Structure 1
Amino acid sequence: MRIDRGGHVAAIGVGADEGETGVAVAMEAIDDVAAGMSPVEAAWIAVRDMLRRSLGARTFDGWLKPLGLDGFDDDSGVVTLAAPSDFMASWVATHFADQLRASWRAVLPHVTEVRVAARSESVRLASFGADTPSAIEPTVPVAVVEAAAPLAMIGTPLEARYTFDSFVVGKANEVAYNAARTLALGGPVTFNPLFLHGGTGLGKTHLMHAIGQDYLARHPDARVIYMSAEKFMFEFVSAMRAKDTLTFKARLRSADLLMIDDVQFIAGKDSTQEEFFHTMNEIISAGRRLIITADRSPQDLEGIESRILSRLGWGLVADVNPADFELRLNIIDKKLEGMTGATVPADVAMFLAKRISANVRELEGALNRVVAYATLLGRTIDMDFAQETLADLLRANQRRITIEEIQRRVSDHYRIRQTEMSSARRAREVARPRQVAMYLSKQLTPRSLPEIGRRFGGRDHTTVIHAVKQIEKLRAQDAELDADVRLLIRQLEG
């Protein structure tokens, strides 16, 4: 089986063992892993998990997470992985050859070669690789985007699995969801642009892909462009080097729907921000739709020109908050609906929803891992198996507490608005809870003092130091305050 794609291929040689007669034997070990999932796709799940654990989350997310499984040649034992650009394909082939070779051969010993290919624009969507999610461990295959979409799409292809139907709505994301549905309808809107912000893995990218697909379904001839801010910068720089910026400008500014993901990545890039600003103006002035995401609100974006931040404030700013327990449980239930044959007991589902709370992407990844490992090993999923399979992830989540969670918990405890955490008010009923939140942020997160200060309304690190010392002093003198702090720590850690 071989699915061809366009693109420039960077090969990573893997020596074939003598006596190997193909991949049939290795395939049998992981056959029938899930309805609709091939053995090679199941192997890709295990390979990604091995790479994430061996390289660390930061390296994996930066370079290997964007890769998709492109194809497998049964006769030659060649695995082809798809990268979003020539540059990334070359970098991965140069810097991660050993890790890719070892991981693939650990799962499928009969693999003879691993190739990393930059996919061509014209075939990215309607092909094997587009069915394999690249954000986390792949799940069962889904239908590809309609054939008309590649003609309308420029930039990064839309993920067919990211739809409004597959998005689980809760209190944490309902404003962003409703705004996204409104924009996708294509009728008159009272806000433009739509700015979505929130932490990693909470659903911002999912909503952008859903908007694009729904909009194309309603307007098949529309020009829809989705790309990351990093890709925007890369293509703009490439256009400048090729002395062809006019083509770049015309391509983006003619879009009926332009979506730019993770705009924080252009911070400090003056020439890129200049072009981004004029592109925003053109899109908005022409009455076309613009959607932008970032990991924080416009006011908290550093290194972004004030005129860009001003334009972002023109439209609707909607936050996507961390999912609460109820929403996480609903996400697991929704995910299981698409996993034919997977049986996850209710107590295991509740355990995952309670313990994997950092973000939705990690929660889905944990569920994928449990189901895949159980199938590969022939085990029944129960509490002991889930804890054993996710031991490293569970340890990490025990230590991962965010400043936003601390602010929310402290605000609820002292019955004040969460916005007071970053306000300029100095009244005692506001200042003391704010100091407690700063203290807990220092004790329970790895964030630096300057970063903590920025999350509390741009305060200086010396203010954070003063708050920490003040609460330490008061805990020794005030039994009631000490009890409050102890209770908050138990709630945050438990």
Structure 2
Amino acid sequence: MPSLDLQFSLPGVTYLDGEGGTPPPAHPGELFVAQENWLAVAAVERFLEANPPGTLALFGPPGTGKTHLLDLLEREFQRRYPEALILRQNAAEFGHAVAEALAKRRRRAFRKRWQTADLVILDDLQFLSEYPAGQEECVVMLQAAERGSPLVAVASRVRPWHIMGLDRRIGEILVGGLTAPLALPGVSVRKALFRAAFGRHGFLLTEAATDLLARELPLSPRQILGLAQEAAHSLAERHVDYAVAQSLVRKHNRKALVSMEQIARATARYFHIPLKRLRGPGREREEVLARDVAMYLSQKLARRTLKEIGRYFGGRDHTTVGHGCRKIEELAATDLTVREALLMIEEMLGIA
């Protein structure tokens, strides 16, 4: 991606373009914007201007900075509009609060609270799918946002209009407002992050070590900070060359291994089908997709052979397993539904 000459007016934001660009902030709590995510900050800036669209939706994998951007939005909105009332909740908390209000016959009082707010912020919107009454209340709130009040900002791990089990009206309203994806940093930005994170602990990384870590470990900024912290406790030598970097990669990958059983259960839960059907002979479209996803993740995350995977998933031939894995790998490059299913299942497994 070409370097962009971006100027953000929001305080505390540093634009990071990787090689040769601005170094990462010295403090891990500061917000930097990788070149992949400048659009999200631009959307937040637009949301803070006069007469913004009524809704803002940020979406991306864990660790890409969604919550940091919501923090920034909340702080800056309060700074610019000191008298403003801001309500902020995790979507699961919102859903639970709606259910509780219904049980106590206090829905009108609950609704009046957000109706008097100037800005409502809901994080982790994907968890609202478990609360039908909360979804209905969210629809009413978003319809009010379309009319101008309150403003509503949400964040989710996948696009709101692709969240399984979420009322389609929520996605339809949000897609008409400001929307911005966030992505994990690319290789060039990861290089800068590895150098900065390890440098905070007194490490000096060789160029070859930096290249290897950035290429082999596509981690979030939070995970890179964690890896540097672990290295500070386990490595006496503060010089990290290619060989030491290789050992760090192997150690991280060993720790990331999960079992086929864990993968199968998480996949079955995500696709809302019984584990027995996932492992069985069924040929319904949803069963086949879920099974292929589980087999692909078993090869990727559990590092099992095609023969082992086939044996676990109903005694299938290794060629059938290989075909299913290749199909998912190809679909992941073009099909948002498949790509986001992989992301969510990895998140359920604690990998993402």
Confirm or deny a common fold (TM above 0.5). Answer: yes
Q: Does 1:188 align with 2:79?
A: no
Q: Does 1:174 align with 2:38?
A: yes
Consecutive unaligned residues of structure 1, counting only runs of 5 or more, are: 1-140, 143-160, 400-437, 448-464, 476-484, 489-494
Partner of 2:164: 302
SS at match of 2:155: strand
1:228 deviates by: 1.4
Q: Does 1:360 align with 2:221?
A: yes
SS at match of 2:34: coil
Change (3 A) 1:247 1:308: same
Measure, in 2, the Cα distance between the counterparts of 1:346 and 1:263. Answer: 41
Measure, in 1, the Cα distance between the counterparts of 2:169 and 2:72. Answer: 29
Q: 2:70 aligns with which of 194, 203, 208?
A: 208
Q: Does 1:240 align with 2:102?
A: yes
The residue type paired with residue 202 of structure 2 is A
Change (3 A) 1:395 1:284: same
Contact in 2 for aligned 1:205/1:261 (Cα 8 Å): yes
1:181 deviates by: 2.6
Measure, in 1, the Cα distance between the counterparts of 2:116 and 2:191. Answer: 41
Q: Max radius of gyration: which structure?
A: 1
1:229 deviates by: 0.8
Q: Does 1:342 align with 2:202?
A: yes
SS at match of 1:331: helix
1:359 deviates by: 3.3
Q: Does 1:256 align with 2:118?
A: yes
The residue type paired with residue 253 of structure 2 is L
Measure, in 2, the Cα distance between the counterparts of 1:328 and 1:299. Answer: 30
Contact in 2 for aligned 1:357/1:397 (Cα 8 Å): no
Q: Does 1:380 align with 2:242?
A: no
Consecutive unaligned residues of structure 2, counting only runs of 5 or more, are: 1-25, 259-289, 300-315, 334-352
1:312 deviates by: 1.3
The residue type paired with residue 168 of structure 1 is V
Q: Does 1:197 align with 2:59?
A: yes
Contact in 1 for aligned 2:86/2:118 (Cα 8 Å): yes
Q: Does 1:326 align with 2:184?
A: no
1:270-326 deviation line (CA, Å, top 9, x unaligned): 211111111222334234422112222234222112222211121123221232101
SS at match of 1:239: helix
SS at match of 1:353: helix
The residue type paired with residue 61 of structure 2 is G
Measure, in 1, the Cα distance between the counterparts of 2:197 and 2:152. Answer: 30
SS at match of 2:87: strand
SS at match of 2:89: strand
1:260 deviates by: 1.0
Measure, in 2, the Cα distance between the counterparts of 1:210 and 1:470. Answer: 46
The residue type paired with residue 240 of structure 2 is D
Higher relative contact order (CA 8 A, sep 6+): 2
Aligned length: 255
Measure, in 2, the Cα distance between the counterparts of 1:327 and 1:229. Answer: 31
Partner of 1:278: 140
Measure, in 2, the Cα distance between the counterparts of 1:256 and 1:162. Answer: 27
Contact in 1 for aligned 2:66/2:182 (Cα 8 Å): yes
Measure, in 2, the Cα distance between the counterparts of 1:241 and 1:439. Answer: 40
SS at match of 2:138: helix
SS at match of 2:218: coil
1:397 deviates by: 6.1
1:175 deviates by: 1.5
1:357 deviates by: 0.6
Contact in 1 for aligned 2:98/2:110 (Cα 8 Å): yes
The residue type paired with residue 231 of structure 2 is V
Change (3 A) 1:333 1:379: closer
SS at match of 2:33: coil
Measure, in 1, the Cα distance between the counterparts of 2:231 and 2:71. Answer: 27
SS at match of 1:234: helix
Contact in 1 for aligned 2:89/2:121 (Cα 8 Å): yes
RMSD across aligned positions (CA): 4.1
1:424-460 deviation line (CA, Å, top 9, x unaligned): xxxxxxxxxxxxxx9996764349xxxxxxxxxxxxx
Measure, in 2, the Cα distance between the counterparts of 1:323 and 1:266. Answer: 28
The percentage of aligned residue pairs carrying the same residue is 20
1:176 deviates by: 1.5
